[in-house]
Each structure stands twice: as C-alpha cells, then as structure tokens.
Amino acid sequence: MYSPPFLKEVPYRMEKTVLAMNQISIEFPGVKALDNVDFETETGVSHALIGANGAGKSTLMKVLCGAYGHYTGEIFLNGKKVNIRTPKDAQDLGIQIVYQEVDTALIPYLTVGENIMLNETVSDMGKKQVVNWTRIHKKATEILESINVNVSSRKLVSQLSLSEKQMVLIARAISKDCKFLILDEPTAPLSFTETEELFRIVRDLKSKNVGVIFISHRMPELFEICDEITIMRNGEFVIKEEIPKTTINRVIEYMLGQKLDDQFPSRTPMIGETVLETKELSDREKISDINMHVKKGEIVGIAGLVGAGKTEFCKALFGVTNKVDGKVLLHGQKLRIRTPYDAVNQGLALVPEERRKEGVLVHETVVTNFSASSLNNFLKVFSFLDFRAEATKAKEMIQSLGVKTPSEKAIVENLSGGNQQKIAIGKWLVADAEVYIFDEPTKGVDVGAKRDIFNLIAALADQGKSVIYASSELAEIMGISDRIYVMYDGRIVNEVMTEETNEEKLLLYSTGGN
C-alpha cells in the first residue's frame, strides 16, 4: 500500500530538522522589501509569522519557497547551506507553500485526485506516456484519509467549497516529501468550523514532524495554534518569542514600533446632524449586520486589517454588490441603491481601493477623468459636450489639487500613483457629492501626496461633507478620523471616539481581541 512519504517508517525518536534563514535582503525597483532578516524554525513546531501590512512576511516566505530568486543572504537546513532560487529547489528540499488565493493554484475542471497528484503527473512521469488513473485516485484518497479529510478524489475541484480547496492544496503539498508547510493567511476566508478543521490538520501534521509556518493577522488564532512567533516590521526582523511566554499586547507593541510623524491636518470638527445611516447591512457573503452612521462634517474611520470586510462594506454601501440586505438611510429617508448609478444620484461618492482598475480611467485624459461622474454639468443642447467648460474645470482642479501633469490632455496612465489618486478623488469634488467614501486612499501613494490627500479629506469635512474613511493603516485612521468603527471578520466589533483610543487598542480590536 502506498503511503505518503512522511508516514513511512519513522524512527522512534523523530529527527528534528532545523531551518534557518540568515541576513535575507531583497529589493524591488525603488523598495527594499527585506532588510537583513533572520528567521528560524524547526520541524514538529508551528511557527507564527506576524507583522503589519507591508512588514515583509509574505515576501520572506516567497523567498523561502523559491518564488523570488534574487535575494541576498543564506538559508540553512540542519546547519547545511542550501541554495533555493526556484520553486523546484524549495520543493526538492521539502518546503511547500499554500498561498492565500487557492484558486490560482488549482485547475477547476480537473478532479480532486488529479489536482493533488499534479506534481507527479507533471514532473515525475519520466518516460511513461500513459497515466494510471486508478493509481492516481488511490494515492490521492490515501493522502486525504491520512489527514482525515472527507472529500471524494473523483469530485471536480470547481464543485468544492473554499475550505475544501485549501485542504486539497495541503494534501498536494504533503503528497511529496514535506518538511515545512507554509500557510499564507489560511483562515481569512474560512468560517469558524472550517478554521477548527484546519487547526486539527495543522496539529496532525505537527505530530507527524512537519514544521508549519503560519502567516495570519488574527491574534487569538495564532495564540491558539502556534508554539513560536516571529514579529516583523517594515521589512526587518523584530523579535522571536515563545507563544506561552508572551501576550497579545506585547506582540502588538512590537508590531507597531515607533509612531509616524505627524502629517495630519489639525482641525476643529464642526459636527452636525446624522446624514447617512446603515441598519443591519449585509452582503450575504463577507459582511453582516453593519450598523453605523456618519454625521455632517464628520470623518468616520473604518479600521480593520486586510480581509476584515472594509472594501466589501464600502461596495455594499455604494451599490456595487448586487445582493444587499438591510437598510441605508440618508437624512432619515430610506435609499434604494441597486447600482453605483443610483448611489451617485443620491449624493454618494466612492474612491475605490483598486485605483487603476476601478478608480481612474487609465486610458483616458485627465479632463475625461475629472468630468466622468458629472458630465451632465458640461453639456450644451442635445447632450453635446461643452469641451471648453470641461477643460476649464480640469485646469482649475489641477491647480487646486496640485496634480503634477504636463497638461490636462495627458493620459492618466502616465501619471504617478499619487497624482492618479488625486484625480480619482477630484472626480468626486467636481461631482459635488454629500457623502464621500474612501477605501484605502493612500495605498501606493508617496508621502508628499499622502499629506495632500489628508488635507483634501479634512477640507471636505470642514465644508460640511460626511466622510467615511476605510483603511488598514491604523495610524492614518487615528490621524484623520473623529470617530472609529473597528471591523473584524465582516462585522463591526467596536465603536470608539478617536480621542479616547490609541493605535494599540485599535490593533487589538482588529485582531479579534477586546
């Protein structure tokens, strides 16, 4: 009978394998993503890797599994130097990874068995030309049984749930020799019971002498399942600790480090009556029971880590999501928002997270972008466009927003990220909305442009507009907002006044603590 490599006659005392990464550095154009990072773990242990957004966790793991070959530094297995430059190098050494986006690694119209045994059919066939399907399915079934996963090997992957797909990927990873298994944000899309199931498998693997490296933002989970934790910040190694000997608050302090310089405008908010209100808003998928409100002249922050449901909330509010339950009230009147077109007509504006895909029209000129949401204001008779008025307005906006562009006729694709974002925001200033929703507006924006964007948002509030500011950059939320809702796992878990809280508390709430 076939048995996966790790089940083969293990010696009475399992031999530990120690993995050490020393002084790992890697650069991408303009960014030093990792700066002399050290990382150490061993088999039979589950090791948490944590850090704020952009800390370099995923980059480090991609180095380890051979996805980025151009790093400097050394990797050792049991003190012996190894050279990992390609995914195959890593796999041959028994290092496997399961990425967060499970669908990119699976072939949906093949069966579970074929997907699990993909490595074998692709690279280990040798001179054989004919695939022995009976054997493939038999082997796959045995691997699935060995981790107690109850999925038929002959089922199509396209019919599986998200968590089942994850199980299939784990099964594939251990179908070959697997010493270390990296799980990148595995629990983000999973429900509570699915997460429990995953943890059972992780414990199972641990007992079979596999080292599991666990990347996650969810603090309570890490403390439940992991033995050790490595904390990273801004591409650097901070500290390695034993989980039983540390606390969530200590980890959070290490994650945050020093505070950012004050780059936020100071203002005295003039807060009026409630403008927009949601009652038990839910999108039937990610978010549920969102009750929040925003007042005139107020900036409300939506804090939460990546995957907490902030973007889904913004999209549900703006009519992007098709199926939304619950109510949205504007000045106490129930709104009927089925599409973004309705939302814009009701005075809502959304600056979406994916700037190039959703925020600006990259192939169009600056003029076209500025007028895109308010073209009705630039018309002559019979819907003919008033090009002159359009250009005048665009020039005015370029001036007032400080957009760096050769002319108003430049194509937006050729401008920098910060300038594109100013245009994405400027579009709504021209349209003159009442409620502005910002989803991660500073993503990929340089420091100078960031300050301009904060000033813009503050100015909007001062003019009596209502602002919803969603971001996973907690320092920004603290700096810009008057009141904060914290989201965790698709729900609002806390509401606090900015002056009565701090970044540590926000991070604690956003990681599921309270």
Partner 1 sequence: MNTSSSVDTKKSRQGFDLFDFMYKYGTLILIGLLIIFFASMNPNFLQTSNLVNILRSISIVTIIGVGITLSLSVDGFDLSVGSVASLANAVVISMFVWYQQPVFIAIGAGLLAALMVGALNAFMIVKVRIPDLLMTLATMFIIQGVALTYTRGATISQNMIMPDGTYAQGQISPLFAKLGQIPWIIIIMLVSVAVVHIFLTYTKHGRYMYVIGGNQEAARLSGIPVNKYKVLAYLLSATFAAIGGMVLASRVMTAEINAGGPYLMDAVAAAFIGFAVLGAGKPNAFGTFIGAVLIGILANGLVMMAVPYYAMDIVKGTVLALALALTYYKLK
Binding site for partner 1 (CB under 8 A): 30, 318, 320, 339-341, 343-345, 350, 352, 357-364, 368, 372-373, 375-376, 379, 382-385, 404-406, 410, 413-419, 427, 431, 446, 448-449
Q: Closer CB to partner 1, residue 370 or residue 488?
A: 370
Q: Closer CB to partner 1, residue 122 or residue 381?
A: 381
CA 63/CA 247 separation, integer angstroms: 29
Q: Closer CB to partner 1, residue 275 or residue 433?
A: 433
Shortest Å, Cβ 456 to partner 1 = 16
Secondary structure (3-state) at 278: strand
Shortest Å, Cβ 395 to partner 1 = 16
Q: Closer CB to partner 1, residue 127 or residue 357?
A: 357
Q: Closer CB to partner 1, residue 167 or residue 449?
A: 449
Shortest Å, Cβ 374 to partner 1 = 9
300 has which bridge partners? 468, 483
Shortest Å, Cβ 366 to partner 1 = 11
Backbone angles phi, psi at 492, to 5 degrees: -85, 120
CA 6/CA 4 separation, integer angstroms: 6
Shortest Å, Cβ 141 to partner 1 = 37
Alpha helices, H only, 75-132: 87-92, 112-116, 118-123
CA 430/CA 393 separation, integer angstroms: 8
Q: Closer CB to partner 1, residue 245 or residue 357?
A: 357
Cβ contact 505:511 at 8 Å: no
**Residue among 170, 149, 207, 6 at smallest CA distance from 96:** 170
Shortest Å, Cβ 455 to partner 1 = 15
Backbone angles phi, psi at 351, to 5 degrees: -100, 100
Shortest Å, Cβ 413 to partner 1 = 8
Q: Closer CB to partner 1, residue 86 or residue 407?
A: 407
Secondary structure (3-state) at 237: strand
Give the largest CA-CA distance in the chain: 88
Q: Closer CB to partner 1, residue 407 or residue 463?
A: 407
Shortest Å, Cβ 277 to partner 1 = 21
CA 191/CA 163 separation, integer angstroms: 9
**Residue among 447, 440, 441 at smallest CA distance from 421:** 441
Residues 6+ apart with CB under 8 A from 31: none
Shortest Å, Cβ 420 to partner 1 = 10
Secondary structure (3-state) at 257: coil
| Through-space distance between the first and last CA atoms of the chain, rounded to whole angstroms | 50
**Residue among 256, 253, 259, 286 at smallest CA distance from 53:** 256
241 has which bridge partners? 229
Q: Closer CB to partner 1, residue 17 or residue 369?
A: 369
Q: Closer CB to partner 1, residue 67 or residue 410?
A: 410
Classify strands 72-77 and 80-82 as parallel, antiparallel or unpaired.
antiparallel
Shortest Å, Cβ 433 to partner 1 = 10
**Overall size of the chain counted in residues:** 514
**Residue among 337, 4, 342 at smallest CA distance from 170:** 4
CA 346/CA 337 separation, integer angstroms: 8
Shortest Å, Cβ 334 to partner 1 = 20
Q: Closer CB to partner 1, residue 196 or residue 413?
A: 413
- Angle, helices 387-401 vs 417-431, to 10°: value is 120
